[in-house]
Amino acid sequence: MARWRLRRRSRSRWYAFLILLALAPVGIYYFYTEIRPTVIFGLREDYAHAIPFQEVPAGIDSLRAEACGECHQAIYEEWKTSIHAHAYTDPFFQAYWTKDQHVWVCLNCHAPLENQQPTLIQHIPDNRVEKAVQVENPRYDTAYQQEGVTCAACHVRNGKIMGPFDDSAAPHPTEYDPAFRTTAVCHRCHNVVSGPFQFYNVGPCGTYAEYEGEFFMKEKGFTCQHCHMPEISRPVADGGPIRQGRQHLWRGGHDPEMIKRAVAIQVQADPPDPEPGDTVTMTLTLINAGAGHKIPTGDPDRHFTVEFYVKDPSGQVVQEQTDTMGRWILWQPVILEVYDNRLLPLASRAYRFSYRIPEGRSDLVVDAQVRYHILTDGQHDMLRKNYGLRSNDPYRYTIYTRRFPLSNELAVALHAETGADSHRGCSVAEKSGHAEEAIS
């Protein structure tokens, strides 16, 4: 009898296991279709819908940027070079958007006017993007969509041209909007939030939320525009009075020079005049000297690498080391930000590399470099192979590189390094007195 009960209990457990095994695919399907969002961010009211349809203000011919450029020529020429102008046509966006099956919500920042979008969103049940009720937009302008974040996306509301001046005299209706003098104008698209089952420390594109620099924001009174829209004295419109305005450039993570302006780099060695047989330790200190937010910021795939390569006279690498600064995120089954070692404003981190110089060798060098990556090599290959990325635009670039001899000439090279252009950001950190040391 006892053996019979044991066999019966064993069969019951086996049946329960089989039932659970059979139900697992159903549970997984339900989780991914009914619970877990399909996009990697949550919805917030101001970007869950396109900017409402805008009529052409009286006195101008169209909402096209080219029409604005007839009077605002300098601003128009700057805008054409900006990432805002290419927010829709950018090859990286197009490839990622193809990967995401052209989900409509991405357009709310990359072509944000209702005038630019093929469908109108009537309802979003439970904030589930994939369940949104869409209807055809009869006023959709295909060509206008190509302009991305165009002039009207920020400056046209209710038949008026909005701007930062309250005394404008123009051939079209104007209205002063104080948001242009604050960071509020950047909030909509640069403060994307987390959604359900998404455990980011900050949203996936949360630069606005990272703008927490006590020195830049509170002591200096800087806004986003101070760096990304530099001040300039010129007529706002051709033939108008000279005003203190801003350049419409919005340089950021896609511009190597902007990245170089944000960081400062210092290199030291111990001992500074090594002999064969010595172990020399190189220390490269990376400082967030010029950004009012964390670096890197924006898309969570962006990261820095700090690299050391010991090379012989033929260029052969005999020893190397690479460290990474960025965010590490688990994407499945839920989104979980595992680690974030990015630098806060005016913080620093020291990266150390040690190498024992072989006896009798004084012909080796160490190459130290810092590179900025918009995405990883694997992601770039995946986008090219599967999602139509054909652009030759660089997705990584070197922002610092120096060669140091591993000999008693090292001290001379280090002394020359202290005056290099790459250190131009150091004065900001040093003068503020707020730099912090974070040793990796």
Q: Residue 324: pLDDT above 70?
A: yes
pLDDT band at 36 (very low <50, low <70, confident <90, very high): confident
Q: Which residues pair with 264 in a beta bridge?
A: 287
* DSSP conformation class of 337: E
* Omega within 30 of 0 (cis) for the link into 271: yes
The residue behind tokens 């309802």 is 123
pLDDT band at 20 (very low <50, low <70, confident <90, very high): confident
Q: Could you tell me which residues come within 8 angstroms of residue 67 by beta carbon, excluding any fewer than 6 positions away? A: 60, 61
SS3 241: coil
Q: Could you tell me which residues come within 8 angstroms of residue 91 by beta carbon, excluding any fewer than 6 positions away? A: 389, 390, 391, 393
How far is Cα 431 from Cα 440, in angstroms, rounded to an integer?
24
How far is Cα 298 from Cα 296, in angstroms, rounded to an integer?
7
Q: Please report, for the chain, how many H helices and E strands are present, in that order.
A: 14, 18
What tens digit of pLDDT does each residue of 350-390 get?
A: 999 999 999 999 999 999 999 999 999 999 999 999 999 98
Q: Which residues pair with 437 in a beta bridge?
A: 348
In the chain, domain spans: 65-246, 258-439
CATH of domain 258-439: 2.60.40.10
**Confidence (pLDDT) at 421:** 46
SS3 102: coil
**Confidence (pLDDT) at 5:** 56
Q: Residue 130: pLDDT above 60?
A: yes
**Tokens matching residue 318:** 């005999």
How far is Cα 440 from Cα 437, in angstroms, rounded to an integer?
10
Higher-scoring residue by pLDDT: 351, 429? 351
**Tokens matching residue 380:** 């770039």
How far is Cα 403 from Cα 179, in angstroms, rounded to an integer?
47
Nearest to 395 by CA among 380, 383, 382, 384: 380
**Confidence (pLDDT) at 10:** 64
**Tokens matching residue 417:** 């390094």
Tell me which of 232-236, 245-249, 430-434 is least confident. Answer: 430-434
**Residue range 45-66: average pLDDT?**
96
**Confidence (pLDDT) at 431:** 32
Tell me which of 111-125, 149-163, 407-421 is least confident. Answer: 407-421
SS3 71: coil
As to burial, measured by CB atoms within 10 angstroms (0-12 exposed, 13-18 middle, 19+ buried), residue 2 is exposed
Higher-scoring residue by pLDDT: 202, 117? 117
